[in-house]
Structure 1
């Protein structure tokens, strides 16, 4: 029996009633229970650079960050974030007034949406979207309006594409904010310069705020390039850009993220953030400041390593019979299971650990329109090459025997 309060009202806030245990927790538990290879949740199985780990140890030993760090983040990290944005993208941000350190990108998203939305505001987001987006919009009292990325095959390459006309049609008088993610999880799409320019023009024309999640900025492959939306005309003053150390430096447990934006936007986001974690990850902030100043060769080598792993897993999945959407960014591969005679991603993923000893994530959890995502399944390739090879060997054995 479910316990109830004296007023017989459920304990859980009704805004969160649709959100239960995340699919990541469910599938990770299945991985443990069955001993399956976990290609579901997006965390690396090796740590990042040794010198950065030692920088965290040094900060701990030196007593830097062991007590509450400054609310906006330690000065060293705010300066490093500012330098990084200028060096890579030509964007100038004042580290004292235009940079805010957060407990990972997850808190940055939550604080931004809680700060900038009021009940009834509409948020247009690209579907499929990371599950915390929907929950944070709900907690802020907003209404999410999905614009679906749909699969297309162009010049023999399958990818998910944005329909700019559909995006424009989704904007109403109630739209307050666009929530973007590029490089895009889970599809691996990287929005092009022309697409971003059109989005920028639309945001300026309709006077919209934009929150853009760019945590995979250093994981773009082939001919794709990451271009911050804030770099387009009219966008700096209306865009909250979110970055993170976890995906770039393979220390996802440190939970160090940041926001860069104009002073008024940073002040608004900080007003919400201070009542969430207040502060977090003190010693790790000093280490991430050093990480952001690593030479360009680190970022190039990191990208090359992930590209090799992408191709290793993609090739194995193709040989096993999946239709593969080889990603232009991130460290996830979306596949279509219909060539295998399957069409229900939930059922497929729940059975896969027992059938093949591999864990994946059904993309439908990232959709409001569940039917749009039903046949798609996501695999993570941020694992050791031998682990990826073992996983593909298991899948090949199942479907080729």
Structure 2
């Protein structure tokens, strides 16, 4: 949620920022609603105070047997009792309209975010690693995967398109990747491991920005809960409606969970293989920090995701997303794209975003700064939230299959994963009838 004071203070800058995000707005409409709501609140408060004052005065007038004054006051109170509910109803309507409008507006981009319409305008930050070379025809993951245990046909038979049954070597690889990712994030980067709910309420989805605008991208249960599209939702909402002490920060959480996405807006994209699934596993990172720490935390988080790939010896690059390609809640996003030799291109495998105080305002998540030199309490402030993919299991499997493929159809195992696979250094293809 955006800070209405920013819009009041500089409406032209607000409109310009929204235009950068490809969301033309007219701050005048927002400010007219804001002004009317404040007028109504002032009138309500004045009317309520006058009603209370007049009610007391009625008793005093009657005690003095001043019936004329008492009658005048009673008429005034009666008028106020009729008018105040009307004001309350109008304030509720105007406030609801304003809140709904603000809830649909994306976060403002930070100054260093490049302008642009889509992924073609994203900015290269750096490339890391060495792309492998092959002396045999390179295959894509969907050609390699079935012999390793990616059963696309059975997955579709069981659940429909964009579901895969993962079995055998591929299942062991998925388990190894999940544990490896969690170990790096917890042991080396200090993230606290969490096992969160996979089903959440409307309020949690609203807090991180999935609702109300992106309901069609989600799965909803019959009792009105939502399957999480990422554990960012559960982890970030840990601080919902809380006032933290400055000494509590930073908070860093990680969770390895299934994620569920309807992919409503992805028709025709990546219909083959394991790239874009309705269900996938991901080790997520979430950080809750003081505002002056969010810049450094964004770099730290992105470096952690890069380190995961560096240890796997997978070539990748970091991209800074342009204004038109960022997510709804993000103020700046770095995508990490892994090299896929079978596709002869980079593909996103991690996305790390700073959301500034945008999600915190939706969740009412605050902290109390340390006392000043005189020992005085300072006013609470909204925390800053960040989130990132530490390791997306499915897409990392895709990268390993394509980068570590062998001429005989087997797949070499990255050295850091071999201990998780009992020392296995190669995934051999199953027999055709296996």
**TM-score (norm: length of structure 1):** 0.26
TM-score (norm 2): 0.25
**Larger Rg over CA atoms:** 2
- Report 1 or 2 for greater relative contact order, CA contacts < 8 Å, sequence distance ≥ 6: 1
